[in-house]
Structure 1
């Protein structure tokens, strides 16, 4: 073989090697994990607290769910998840984030010990007015009223319907009736809705034992923030549905929650959750302009790089999800 032939052979071998290396590198980059499963919870209470609401998960079920997540997923903070979506994660890793909406007291009393024991990070989105004023959310007054009610609730005089909370209507069936009433009330003008809620609550649950569904105290919010495992996020100030407010009202509601939480915790608040999951392009930009780095929605799918960082999808987990349903939800590919 002549010198020229040897050089050509060497160059062909070198080029093939470079192509293989480049292709391998490219495949390595493109195949890195770029999806995250984000779970959405609300409240978790002790098993003996009998609340037939999808939003309230039993403590024992929650513990099993988190043990499963620890065994099968790399549960990371929302901060870290943003990095995975931006830069890609390890090829063989399955990433998950655990979030809670509303800032309930059980997030501190029940959730925190479970997450500390398993060393799992989580995010709690807090609406600041209920925490500041120690007041229940209006829908929790309805839930507590529905739990105490032992009859059909006829609200036609309030231009609503009839809702069956008879003694035999229990579990998910009772929740379905609650959902009908809550959905109807969400479409009512705010002042009129507040009047209706007060009327229902004064007749039913306020004469019973105090409702178990309460927001955290300021001290509990601070303690969560100080754990190192919990990220505190904002959930607006009043928890009004932001798409029902004027742009100025919505911006003030968003900004106030950020300012309050930063003052309470001494930390920067980077993440926002839309109340009731309702958002619009204008609200997404408003959230960005007041200084949030990302926002979560209630769109149900896995979070991928193609999703807008101000509309991160989540998968809701509730009281009536069996373990098999839970596994199916978290393992979905889209």
Structure 2
């Protein structure tokens, strides 16, 4: 296991990007990216960071950059993307016990409808299919999918192709895969799939160590959208937190977050709706001169 404390720097700030924490990984294929950490691994990572760094909130981070105030030595911030329920029922007790502040960026459709992401649907389909081959629309040839390694290779190809495409609709594509692999029903996993609901957000937001930010309505790549849809994706996710729980929503994170997943137009719309910062998923650390809309993070897997 990596000691993530080696990313902590004396005069720089490190933002860690988590997605979820589960009791144990029991799947053969699902969660192969380790998006959801096992609890024992998460505990070790947090203990290491607690012993070697200074955890500050997203509010404090923003204040340091706005006011150009020196960061505390070896400072870091903890963030979770998407809004999985396990953030609150498994990860939160560990963090709160150590008095560590953290931020959860919520995709409003995930929370409101307990929707699975398109990538989670595809992982599920490949794990549970009885089909031995598949034809992808861009290859036109039969690909063997008998073992886990073959399936992982295809899923990685799909992730790369779909995320880079401005024309492929991820939701429709996941439906295409489910059909091709003859998956008629998805049985959701309690820990891998359950999302935070509005009542939980309202209850947990009363704790000053927990901040909730927005993460769009449906997790679309924002730079690919026309202005009207871009504004809708951002505004609805902000309004979900405001209207359901009366929260002041100042913080956002870009879906996918890779270089090119956001641009000046996206930042302008975020500012229009009162957002003051939005971290990326681009690997790196930050200085007091880093733009609050170009913050780098370290993905924890």
TM-score interval (norm. to shorter)? 0.7 to 0.9
Are 2:286 and 1:308 equivalent residues in the alignment? Answer: no
Deviation at 1:164, TM superposition (A): 5.8
Q: Measured at CA, do residues 174 and 56 of structure 1 come closer, stay the same or move farther in structure 2, by a change above 3 Å?
A: farther
Aligned-partner Cα distance in 2 for 1:66–1:205: 38
Contact 1:274 1:297 in 2 (8 A): yes
Provide, for residues 65-103 of structure 1, a one-character-per-residue CA deviation record: whole Å limited to 9, x for no partner.
Answer: 00111100101111111223331134xx21000111111
Unaligned runs of 5+ in 1: 1-32, 319-334
Question: How many pairs were matched up?
Answer: 280
- Structure 2 Cα separation of the partners of residues 225 and 154 of structure 1: 45
Match of 2:177 in 1: 200
- Give 1:179's aligned residue: 156
1:263 CA drift (Å)? 1.6
Inter-CA distance 148–96: structure 2 relative to 1 (3 Å threshold): same
SS of the residue aligned with 1:272?
coil
Counterpart of 1:88 in structure 2 is: 70
Structure 1 position 118, deviation (Å): 2.0
Which position in structure 2 is the counterpart of 1:216? 196
Q: 2:114 maps to which residue?
A: 134
- The answer to whether the Cα contact below 8 Å between 2:188 and 2:194 also exists between their aligned partners in 1 is no
Is 1:159 matched with 2:138? yes
- Corresponding position of 2:281: 298
Q: Cα distance 1:132–1:261, how it changes in 2: closer, same or farther (>3 A)? A: same
How far does residue 272 in structure 1 lie from its aligned partner after superposition?
A: 0.7
TM-score (norm 1): 0.76
Which fold has the larger relative contact order, with Cα–Cα distance below 8 Å and residues 6 or more apart in sequence? Answer: 2
1:101-120 matches, within 5 Å, as 101-120=81-100
Question: What is the CA-CA distance between 1:168 and the residue it aligns to?
Answer: 4.8
CA 1:111/1:205 → structure 2, altered by over 3 Å: closer, same or farther? farther
Counterparts in 2 of 1:209 and 1:253: CA distance versus 1, 3 Å: closer
1:150 touches 1:165 (CA, 8 Å); kept in 2? Answer: no
Structure 2 segments unaligned to the other structure (5+ residues): 1-9
Give the superposition deviation at 1:149: 3.9
**CA distance 1:152–1:225, change in 2 (3 Å):** farther
CA root-mean-square deviation: 2.4
Q: Distance in 1 between matches of 2:145 and 2:201?
A: 34
Aligned: 1:189 with 2:167: yes
**What is aligned with 2:7?**
none
Instruction: Verify: 1:252 aligned to 2:235, yes or no.
Output: no
8 Å CA contact 1:271, 1:294 repeated in 2: yes
**Larger proportion of helix:** 1
**Deviation (angstroms), 1:144:** 1.6
1:76 aligns with 2:53: no
C-alpha distance in 2, partners of 1:117/1:316?
23
DSSP-derived class of the 1:271 partner: coil
**In the alignment, does 2:19 pair up with 1:42?**
yes
Q: Is the 8 A contact 1:163 1:181 kept in 2?
A: no
Secondary structure (helix, strand or coil) at the match of 1:215 reads coil
Aligned to 1:53: 32
Check 1:160–1:139 CA distance in 2 against 1; reply closer, same or farther (3 A cut).
Answer: farther
